[in-house]
Structure 1
Amino acid sequence: MSKAKAISAQPPPMPTNKDDINTTWTFLEWGVERIMYSLKEGVDLKTYMSLYTIIHNFCTAQKAVGPQQNNLNSNHRGAHLLGEDLYHRLNNYLKNHLAHVHAEMVKHTDEALLTYYNDEWKRYTEGGIYNNHLFRYLNRHWVKREMDEGKKDIYDVYTLHLVRWKEDMFGSTQNAVMDAVLRQVEKQRNGETIEQQKIKLVVDSFVALGIDESDSTKSSHDVYRQYFEKPFIDATTKYYERESEVFLAENSVVDYMKKAERRLDEEKDRVPLYLLAEIMHPLMKACETALIAKHCQLMRDEFQILLDNDREEDMARMYKLLARIPEGLDPLRTRFEAHVRRAGLLAVEKVAQQGENLDPKAYVDALLEVHTQYAALVHSAFAGESEFVRSLDNACREYVNRNEVCKKNSARSPEMLAKHADNVLKRSTKATEEDDMEKLLNQVMTIFKYIEDKDVFQKFYSRNLAKRLVNGTSANADAETSMISKLKDASGFEYTNKLQRMFQDMQTSKDLNAAYEDWCEQTFDREDRKEGVDAYYQILGTGFWPLQPATTPFVPPPTIVKTYERFQNFYNSKHGGRKLTWLWHLCKGEIRANYIKMNKVPYTFQVSTYQMAILLLFNDSEEVSYDDMASTTMLQKETLDPSLGIMLKAKVIQANPESAPTQSGTSYTLNHGFKNKKLKVNLNMAIKAEQKQEAEDTHKTIEEDRKMLMQSAIVRIMKSRKTMKHNQLVSETINQIKNRFSPKIADIKKCIDVLIEKEYLERLEGDELGYLA
């Protein structure tokens, strides 16, 4: 503890001569001593006013002015000299005072040193405040004039106190004080309890000493930064470097991360307790370097183990730690991307064992499962950080487009996704609830985002949509429009333009059928209307529907002919310049089998138009030969045989002989013993050979469309640029169409050659191409 200096309670005699510096200072020194050492007792108001008055009288004494009393300059100089003497005596007093304090301070160490330092600092600065007020007249006149004239080493009285402490005490004690502070902080880091207020007072003192000696009205943190912050940061670095080395030698990386996380939190919490707020950044940076940067390779090496074992919490901890250091996460992102890609490829390999019979749902589910798992991991462990999202996207793009299933056919993924979307949107799907349907559509769009050949998806999707609309098998019209809206948002208006036109045609057809019904009622009587068959007509625009013409000639039955000719007359009366082309291979209907019944109710067969034409032949004959079927319907063998085969398999008809069911010379009869659990029997099954052919035709169409797309892009670029280097044109073409598919450079070069032959482009000197208007 600090020792109090013995000070006389009785003041010395008041100076009788107000300009006598010696008697004046003797009295003033006694007052200053009372203030500096016995602040609690201090001086009474009467004595304080006496001290203030003596200073005022001394500074305004006229005797020192000399004989030229009316000379203003001399008057000024006299006051100047008196004030200077008083100022320097106070300065010397403070030096002596601090010499005594310093002599006592060196006797203390550690916590006792901090206690003594803080007590003396507090007493000294509080005394400085009182002295500053006591010498206010000196400050306002003599000190101000000296400072205004640019005199060095002149300060107001309080600043003089700080300057003296800084010069007479600080230089020889700050190292010992700082060592004591650091030992206390280390004790706290080791789990001991310390008096934090003592360190806070030291910090405050170092900050207060940051005076600008050229301008006492200004201050800085230079003293604090040099003598407190720097050694504090250095000691912190050494402490955690030493601790982390020892801990890692005996514990796992995961345990170390927990400790590092805890230590970082402790240091962050320490700042507001007794440190200056501005130390937060350099302190945390030093801790991050010692605790994380120096051991980041060990953590990164552990990352793969955490990934393999789904240690989500530990990965989140590692992410938060490595995110604190520059480029700390880059290797993690790279490993994460490679891991997700491997997981995706492995998932596809498992389902690829189904071969050609691969179920689209199983394939898409395999892709989704990996994405869902690691998208959730990015969100929970990596805070949804954009760079980890990019790594996930890169990995998904790889395993979606380049996997075991895509080896033979690079466009297999978009084709399978389109088939899966078709199954989702068909009426047979189990997801009838709106939420479930929306969830399934969002899953389709999740994979769609990663598909590179979006034109392949578009082509297959549009064909499947056309079939759903024509056959009326869509589960939900709202789901269909929702899906198109999602595709539009993802790929633009042009991508979905034809899809939207299909829906418009369906509405137009609905209105047309209603108008046709009205026309029939007005044109024909009831008996005439009964002669035809009940029919519904769909008028599809040739340029918008991806429908292929029939691959076989066909002569429809007379009943159907009479019905469709009546509609054709109606249509021509409304649209004289249009031509109707009947797509018989897409038509279907229901036919009632009056010859066989279940509980007195005839069976109803759901058939294709081709099957209907075959079955209607049995209205005229009990037995119909294969050759008669072929000659009457004009169906080719490739279509006739599968249509017959389905009915034979369902035992609706019987072949004679049974050994040759679908060939010339075979005859067929109706099976009067037919039985089925359902009254409505569906015979309109898809023919696998036709489906395969359709898929092949679709791929051929895609190739042709790609050539046209590349050529139009090249022409568009050259039209705006006029001349261009060959490689630049190739690069620009790729940029323009990469959102639809990934073009091959060789294909672009072929398109350039074709356009040169067609005289859209010409070769110029060097490697340059020119546009021909």
Structure 2
Amino acid sequence: MSSVATRTPPDAMPQVPNREDLNATWKYLEYGVDKIMVDLKNGIDMNLIADACLKYMGVYTAVHNFCTSQKAVSNTATGTVIGGAHRGAHLLGEDLYQNLIHYLTGYLKNLVKLSRTHTDEALLSFYIREWDRYTTAAKYINHLFRYLNRHWVKREMDEGKKNIYDVYTLHLVQWRQTLFNEVNEKVMDAVLKMIEKQRNGETIEHNQIKSIVNSFVSLGLDESDSTKSTLEVYRFHFQRPFLEATKVFYQAESKQFVAENSIVEYMKKAEARLDEEEERVTMYLHDDVTLLLKRTLHGALISDHSALLRDEFQILLDNDRVDDMERMYKLLARIPDGLDPLRAKFEAHVRKAGLDAVSKVAVEADKLEPKVYIDALLEIHTQYQGLVKTAFQDEPEFTRSLDNACREFVNRNPVCKSGSNKSPELLAKYADAVLRKGTNGAEESDLENTLNQIMTVFKYIEDKDVFQKFYSRMLARRLIHTTSSSDDAETSMISKLKEQCGYEYTNKLQRMFQDMQISKDLNSGYKEFEGKLVEPGDARPVDASYSILGTGFWPLNAPNTDFTPPAEIAKAYERFQTFYNQKHSGRKLTWLWQFCKGEVKANFCKNQKTPYTFQVSTYQMAILLLFNESSTNSYDDIVKATQLQGEVLDPALGIFVKAKIFNMSPEGDKPGPGKVFSLNTDFKSKKIRMNLNIAVKSEQKQEVEDTHKTIEEDRKLLMQSAIVRIMKARKKMKHTQLVSECINQIRVRFVPKIPDIKKCIDILLEKEYLERLDDDELGYLA
């Protein structure tokens, strides 16, 4: 049979055939198919062609009539028997189906011949033009043969016959088998040349590529189910060579660009290329290629040069090149494990920056201003937290690297040479300065922000128990001496600590506040009680207020010296004790004289109309009141009257001598036995009110030492209780496992040292809480 695609259909429509004559029927149908194919090539409106075919030629009717006829006439022209008297109607459709296949094969072979006269873009134009005509014709022909689809084709497919398709799909199958397999490689070569031109900056007709892509996608048919389509044809014949060409192009370009330009310029180039390819997918590629294209680009543009990029990172860090670091982050984030080396370098850089900042402010630990130290830590954290947010998009792993670095330089730096507990001590002192009245702490409007900064440093402190001890002692002083700048600020700070460390950590701090509130109510009741005791004409009692502090909650010790209070004070506190015993029978009050204070008026100065007011401790008050009886007192007289020990009395007298309230003879450096003290009646001061209740450095140093001793004792008890708790739950445990579990439980408060844990285990063994078993195992003794 000759190629029907080259034949021009007759001008006149053949007569309507005998329904049982296959030869005549096919000739009739062939005319209609030819008419559609040729007129499409000539650009005639297919709506008119369709109407003509359906209205005047009765093609659909001819298909229907033939398929429903009971007999068929032999096709003598081809020498094959197409039908017979006993063939069923369901077989007759096969005759038309096979003739259509022969027709399409001939038509497409002719197109293959024509394609060989075109190359490159001309070939693409030819392919797209013929594809559009062919698929448009297929839709109309499928419409004309729809009876065949609905009955014979459907029945064959339902019976599981392979390689049977509806008429439209048959057109696609024939295109793929006859034309596509012959020309696809040349078509793809032309496509790749166009894409390369575009990558090199030339303008192309990208709609042609989009049409090619759509054509390749349309040819994907599921061999096991003709009603479904796949992307196999597109993936094998378009996507595979496209990705390979992409890889080769960018490997060559990037290698040359890196050799001739800086890494920063290369990153800009790579970023631009990635954006271009993303746009290219949107413009004319299929979405299915997106993931594989990204993988290919990331390999050629990033992975192949990742070592060079990472080497450049340190330079960018050293020079604060934020934009370039952000660009590098975005590039390396696209490849597996691309950012791990950057995180390690970032962590090391931040740690070094923190240590350098501390070194600049480091002096002797006792002379170092807490604010200067904390500001140095915060400056580094703020700087690199901003970098993480801006350049690294707040990525959790970079945040973790920042936290690790900060934890290192906060706990192990030149200031902490004597131990990691120096940072929490200085932080507690800084918090005290911020929260105390009359200091250069934060303004009210900035107070909350400053507390947040304190908590930022607190988060990194390992020995949180050290901070707790120092903070609680300083809070106690602020509450006792009413020097807190704001109750709201104090409450806010405790809430922040509770949120960070839990209820147990702040339980005593909250109870201290409760005690102060209870004391306020108690003082109101005492005023009423005292008013009933004083008779008209009695001397006015000392105006005093009292704070009742729970022994288990306040970090305060009993006085470390004997003390005999003056009569004026003794009467007042005895009266309060009577009142308190009436309200709370059986409770014992321990008077903490070292924390008591008051005011006295000084009328001994010559030519001073307005008396001075001295703010003094109770010990200082007892000393001053002795001079009401005599303007001169010896050191021994003062000791006998007050019973104060030298370590308390000497500093108190030294303050009076230094302020020139007392004259000391014989003159010397320090008060002590053999010295005589007299009032300086020529005393003058610009201030009417003078605060003489000043902490002595030796006392402060002693308090710090006592605090550290308390911390060590508390740690031993905490480790022992943790060990007992673990063993009670586990009954038996290996020694190394017990040590490890103990560290895990306690590290939220402090990082215990393994030798200290072992000592605590030995103590518990001696106390028979634990016993040694075989194979380095420990057992719990109930």
Q: State whether TM-score is above 0.5.
A: yes
Query: Does the 8 Å contact 2:363/2:415 carry over to 1?
Result: no
User: Residue in 2 aligned with 1:225?
Assistant: 235
Instruction: State which of 148, 157, 169 in structure 2 corresponds to 1:138.
Output: 148
Matched letter for residue 30 of structure 2? E
Q: Post-superposition shift, 1:683?
A: 0.8
Residue 23 of structure 2 is aligned to residue 22 of structure 1 = yes
User: Residue in 2 aligned with 1:423?
Assistant: 433
Summarize deviations over 1:49-80 as a string: whole Å, max 9, x none. 422222223323333399xxxxxx99882434
Query: Does the 8 Å contact 1:597/1:603 carry over to 2?
Result: no
- In 1, the alpha carbon distance for the partners of 2:595 and 2:756 equals 35
- Classify 1:366/1:76 alpha carbon distance in 2 versus 1 (closer, same or farther; 3 Å): farther
Residue 732 of structure 2 is aligned to residue 723 of structure 1 = yes
Residue 401 of structure 2 is aligned to residue 391 of structure 1 = yes
Q: Post-superposition shift, 1:431?
A: 4.7
- In 2, the alpha carbon distance for the partners of 1:263 and 1:47 equals 53
Query: Does the 8 Å contact 1:271/1:277 carry over to 2?
Result: yes
Where in structure 2 are there 5+ consecutive unaligned residues?
Answer: 75-82
Q: Post-superposition shift, 1:330?
A: 0.4
User: Residue in 1 aligned with 2:375?
Assistant: 365
Summarize deviations over 1:598-641 as a string: whole Å, max 9, x none. 87211101111111111111111122222211222122222222
- Classify 1:251/1:526 alpha carbon distance in 2 versus 1 (closer, same or farther; 3 Å): farther
- In 2, the alpha carbon distance for the partners of 1:586 and 1:729 equals 44
User: Residue in 2 aligned with 1:763?
Assistant: 772
Matched letter for residue 23 of structure 2? N
Query: Does the 8 Å contact 1:730/1:748 carry over to 2?
Result: yes
User: Residue in 2 aligned with 1:61?
Assistant: 69
- In 1, the alpha carbon distance for the partners of 2:328 and 2:676 equals 78
Residue 167 of structure 2 is aligned to residue 166 of structure 1 = no
Residue 760 of structure 2 is aligned to residue 751 of structure 1 = yes
Instruction: State which of 573, 579, 587 in structure 2 corresponds to 1:578.
Output: 587
Summarize deviations over 1:636-669 as a string: whole Å, max 9, x none. 2222221111111111111123236513332222
User: Residue in 1 aligned with 2:38?
Assistant: 37
Matched letter for residue 504 of structure 1? Q
Residue 97 of structure 2 is aligned to residue 91 of structure 1 = no
Matched letter for residue 632 of structure 2? E
Query: Does the 8 Å contact 1:432/1:475 carry over to 2?
Result: no
Where in structure 1 are there 5+ consecutive unaligned residues?
Answer: 67-72
Instruction: State which of 619, 625, 629 in structure 1 corresponds to 2:634.
Output: 625
Query: Does the 8 Å contact 2:17/2:62 carry over to 1?
Result: no
Matched letter for residue 727 of structure 1? T
Query: What pairs with 1:535-546 in structure 2 (closer than 5 Å)?
Result: 535-546=544-555
Q: Which moved more, 1:139-148 or 1:95-104?
A: 139-148
Query: What pairs with 1:230-629 in structure 2 (closer than 5 Å)?
Result: 230-431=240-441, 433-528=443-538, 530=540, 532-596=541-605, 600-629=609-638
- In 2, the alpha carbon distance for the partners of 1:260 and 1:141 equals 58
- Classify 1:432/1:78 alpha carbon distance in 2 versus 1 (closer, same or farther; 3 Å): closer
- In 1, the alpha carbon distance for the partners of 2:52 and 2:186 equals 42
Q: Post-superposition shift, 1:433?
A: 4.2
User: Residue in 2 aligned with 1:702?
Assistant: 711
User: Residue in 1 aligned with 2:133?
Assistant: 123
- Classify 1:172/1:678 alpha carbon distance in 2 versus 1 (closer, same or farther; 3 Å): same
User: Residue in 1 aligned with 2:781?
Assistant: 772
- Classify 1:207/1:661 alpha carbon distance in 2 versus 1 (closer, same or farther; 3 Å): closer
- In 1, the alpha carbon distance for the partners of 2:775 and 2:51 equals 102
- In 2, the alpha carbon distance for the partners of 1:628 and 1:599 equals 28
- In 1, the alpha carbon distance for the partners of 2:390 and 2:716 equals 45
- In 1, the alpha carbon distance for the partners of 2:288 and 2:439 equals 63
Q: Post-superposition shift, 1:557?
A: 1.2
- In 2, the alpha carbon distance for the partners of 1:610 and 1:94 equals 118
RMSD: 1.9
Secondary structure at the counterpart of residue 651 of structure 2: helix
Residue 184 of structure 2 is aligned to residue 194 of structure 1 = no
- In 2, the alpha carbon distance for the partners of 1:302 and 1:362 equals 34
Query: What pairs with 1:663-742 in structure 2 (closer than 5 Å)?
Result: 663-742=672-751
User: Residue in 2 aligned with 1:70?
Assistant: none
Q: Post-superposition shift, 1:81?
A: 4.5
Q: Which moved more, 1:347-356 or 1:196-205?
A: 347-356
Secondary structure at the counterpart of residue 604 of structure 2: strand
Secondary structure at the counterpart of residue 554 of structure 1: coil
Secondary structure at the counterpart of residue 602 of structure 2: strand
User: Residue in 1 aligned with 2:78?
Assistant: none
Matched letter for residue 38 of structure 1? D
Q: Which moved more, 1:597-606 or 1:152-161?
A: 597-606
Summarize deviations over 1:547-587 as a string: whole Å, max 9, x none. 12222222211111111111111111212201111111111
Secondary structure at the counterpart of residue 460 of structure 2: coil
- In 1, the alpha carbon distance for the partners of 2:410 and 2:707 equals 21
User: Residue in 1 aligned with 2:118?
Assistant: 108
Matched letter for residue 37 of structure 2? M
- In 2, the alpha carbon distance for the partners of 1:505 and 1:75 equals 115
- In 2, the alpha carbon distance for the partners of 1:660 and 1:383 equals 63
* TM-score for both structures, normalised by structure 1: 0.96
Matched letter for residue 624 of structure 1? N
Q: Post-superposition shift, 1:438?
A: 0.6
- Classify 1:114/1:98 alpha carbon distance in 2 versus 1 (closer, same or farther; 3 Å): same
Query: Does the 8 Å contact 1:618/1:670 carry over to 2?
Result: yes
- Classify 1:581/1:163 alpha carbon distance in 2 versus 1 (closer, same or farther; 3 Å): same
- In 1, the alpha carbon distance for the partners of 2:690 and 2:10 equals 123
- In 2, the alpha carbon distance for the partners of 1:328 and 1:461 equals 44
Q: Post-superposition shift, 1:47?
A: 4.0
Matched letter for residue 83 of structure 1? G
Q: Post-superposition shift, 1:691?
A: 0.7
- In 2, the alpha carbon distance for the partners of 1:210 and 1:586 equals 91
- In 2, the alpha carbon distance for the partners of 1:339 and 1:386 equals 18
- In 1, the alpha carbon distance for the partners of 2:177 and 2:51 equals 33
Q: Post-superposition shift, 1:770?
A: 1.5
Secondary structure at the counterpart of residue 427 of structure 1: coil
- In 1, the alpha carbon distance for the partners of 2:452 and 2:669 equals 50
Q: Post-superposition shift, 1:354?
A: 4.7
Q: Which moved more, 1:715-724 or 1:236-245?
A: 715-724
- In 2, the alpha carbon distance for the partners of 1:514 and 1:472 equals 17
- In 2, the alpha carbon distance for the partners of 1:760 and 1:502 equals 34
Query: Does the 8 Å contact 1:418/1:461 carry over to 2?
Result: yes
Secondary structure at the counterpart of residue 495 of structure 2: helix
Kindly tell me the number of residue pairs found equivalent between the two proteins. Answer: 763
Summarize deviations over 1:347-373 as a string: whole Å, max 9, x none. 111111354301111111111111111
Q: Post-superposition shift, 1:412?
A: 0.7
- In 1, the alpha carbon distance for the partners of 2:109 and 2:233 equals 21
Q: Which moved more, 1:343-352 or 1:619-628?
A: 619-628
Q: Which moved more, 1:661-670 or 1:551-560?
A: 661-670
Query: Does the 8 Å contact 2:105/2:178 carry over to 1?
Result: yes
- Classify 1:46/1:503 alpha carbon distance in 2 versus 1 (closer, same or farther; 3 Å): closer
User: Residue in 1 aligned with 2:8?
Assistant: 7
Residue 190 of structure 2 is aligned to residue 180 of structure 1 = yes
Q: Post-superposition shift, 1:442?
A: 0.7
Query: What pairs with 1:653-664 in structure 2 (closer than 5 Å)?
Result: 653-659=662-668, 662-664=671-673
